[in-house]
Amino acid sequence: MTKIFIDPGHGGEDPGATANGLREKNICLSLALKLRDVLNQEYEGHTLKLSREADTTVTLRQRTNMANSWGADYFVSIHINAGGGTGFESYIYNGNYASKPETNRLRNLLHEQVVKETGYRDRGKKEANFHVLRESAMYGVLTENGFIDHSTDAEKLKSDAFLNQIARGHASGLARALGLKRKSVQYHTIQKGDTFWALSRQYHTTVAKLLKMNPGVDAERLQIGERIRVK
């Protein structure tokens, strides 16, 4: 089993960047939970752990200690950018270390999938001396998923459907990088705004097939938290 450690940036007393009525910590948590759900619902061959699953304060050292103690194989830290730009960028640790070529190869696979899924402007594959990348004892990446202080990016980040796209980009990227296999039977947990039409596009199927697989489900009255079969 491949152990994937998901780290939603900031939280609790640390809001991260704030602008346009948004707080980075809240978006990071939402993306991390969505990523967890996509990976668990659609893929197999892995186990997951999150640095936080609620609006709690977790120090940088606590985050890397958790991942190292658990023996994670891959560390992905999720953030939202600020500072006047637009688009998506990713980071690996900028030091000299034996696993750097492989760390970069895995990052490239994830990076490309997020850009493909979201249509974000590609700001590049970068390196930095971030604590969570430097002090984690496994392959790792930190993603910056749009700019909270850019009006166009902020409007996208207010959309639950767009957050689903970001999470799905991370999931498919991780699956490619880590060799995760798709489940032969897949389920989806209904979220706010879901419809059978939208789900048919998301899972590359048809409304008729969804109705056939879920005979007891009222397509006009989907309940948040309801679990339906999609494949």
Point out the residues that are catalytic.
144
**193 C-beta neighbours (distance < 10 Å), count:** 12
- β-pairing verdict for 46-50 and 2-8: parallel
CA distance 103 to 98: 9
CA distance 156 to 23: 14
**201 C-beta neighbours (distance < 10 Å), count:** 11
CA distance 115 to 123: 10
Q: Is 152 helix (H, G, I), strand (E, B) or coil?
A: helix
CA distance 99 to 207: 45
